[in-house]
Amino acid sequence: MSVMHQNRRNPILLGQDNNALTWLLIINAVIFITINFIKIVYYLSYETPMEASQNFNLQILDWFALPANVRTLLSRPWTIVTYMFSHEGVWQLIGTLLWLWAFGYILQDLTGTTKLIPVYLYGGFAAGVFFILGSNLIPEYKSLVNSTAPLMGGEAAVFAVAIAATTMSPKYKLFPMINGGIPLWVLTLLFVAIDYTSIANSSAIYLVTHIASGVTGFLFAHQMLRGRDWSTWMLNFMNWLNDLFNP
């Protein structure tokens, strides 16, 4: 029996201790609550909302978001990681968590609990790298690099999860009670359409980040189907850290 069929017979529950999806949902939610709690404190500490917002963005939010300016990035290198877990708007968070739950559950059902976080991180890294490269190398955006809004949110990383899950099994059936089920690729097309609509009015550089993340998710799943696991080094590193603090 294949690994995929074994996983489908033993669905991974959100309450399990080793559920990577649960941890991703919790981390995104906790950081969102932390950021907005600090934001409330700022609004209560300043006389005008504009002054509170400016100081909050400068002193707090900019230390989570990924800047387009390379010099600023060098002073905040951790933002290549923190940006993909940081959300300021509640609807941005809800959208990210809902799609992450949907595609993350399917990916874990197909591959187990050890692949979701690597795919999420790979997608986020790819999106961040292309955001920085595009902002600094494309002439249209290079002159505006200092005014380009920083990258923030897990939407691009979720894009990698969605494409990876679809690549693993595009005919994976959803809602089997409805006329035999809906293929996963239909849900993915809906997700791509909604995602594109949400960023259609923004700078094209944000579209590039989602494409880069999607390609990364596809390559990860494609290599996995060929027997090459890109997550091995990351899992070994995490196990090493776990053994280091829990001998």
Cβ neighbors of 69 (< 8 A, separation 6 or more) are 135, 145, 146
pLDDT band at 246 (very low <50, low <70, confident <90, very high): confident
DSSP codes joined into one string, the chain: --HHHHHHHSPPPTTSTT-HHHHHHHHHHHHHHHHHHHHHHHHHHSSSHHHHHHHHHHHTGGGTSB-S-HHHHHH-TTHHHHGGG---SHHHHHHHHHHHHHHHHHHHHHH-TTSHHHHHHHHHHHHHHHHHHHHHHSHHHHTTTTTSPPB-SSHHHHHHHHHHHHHH-TT-EESTTTTT-EEHHHHHHHHHHHHHHHHTTS-HHHHHHHHHHHHHHHHHHHHHHTT--TTHHHHHHHHHHHHHH--
| pLDDT tens sequence across 22-44 | 999 999 999 999 999 999 999 99
Contact between 152 and 80 under an 8 Å Cβ cutoff? The reply is no
User: What local confidence, expressed as pLDDT, does residue 11 receive?
Assistant: 56
Contact between 29 and 87 under an 8 Å Cβ cutoff? The reply is no
Please give the share of the chain, as a percent, with pLDDT higher than 70: 89
Helix axes 20-45, 90-111, angle to 10 degrees: 170
| pLDDT tens sequence across 132-158 | 998 888 777 776 667 778 999 999 999
* Mean pLDDT in residue range 173-196: 87
User: What local confidence, expressed as pLDDT, does residue 107 receive?
Assistant: 95
pLDDT at 197 over 50: yes
Q: How far is CA 24 from CA 34, 158, 161, 182, 186, in A?
A: 15, 11, 12, 26, 25
User: What local confidence, expressed as pLDDT, does residue 141 receive?
Assistant: 72
What ranges do the domains of the chain cover? 3-245
pLDDT band at 5 (very low <50, low <70, confident <90, very high): very low
pLDDT at 7 over 70: no
- Give the range among 13-17, 52-56, 118-122, 203-207 with minimum mean pLDDT: 13-17
Pick the CATH number of 3-245 from 1.20.1540.10, 3.30.70.20, 1.10.3720.10, 3.40.190.10: 1.20.1540.10
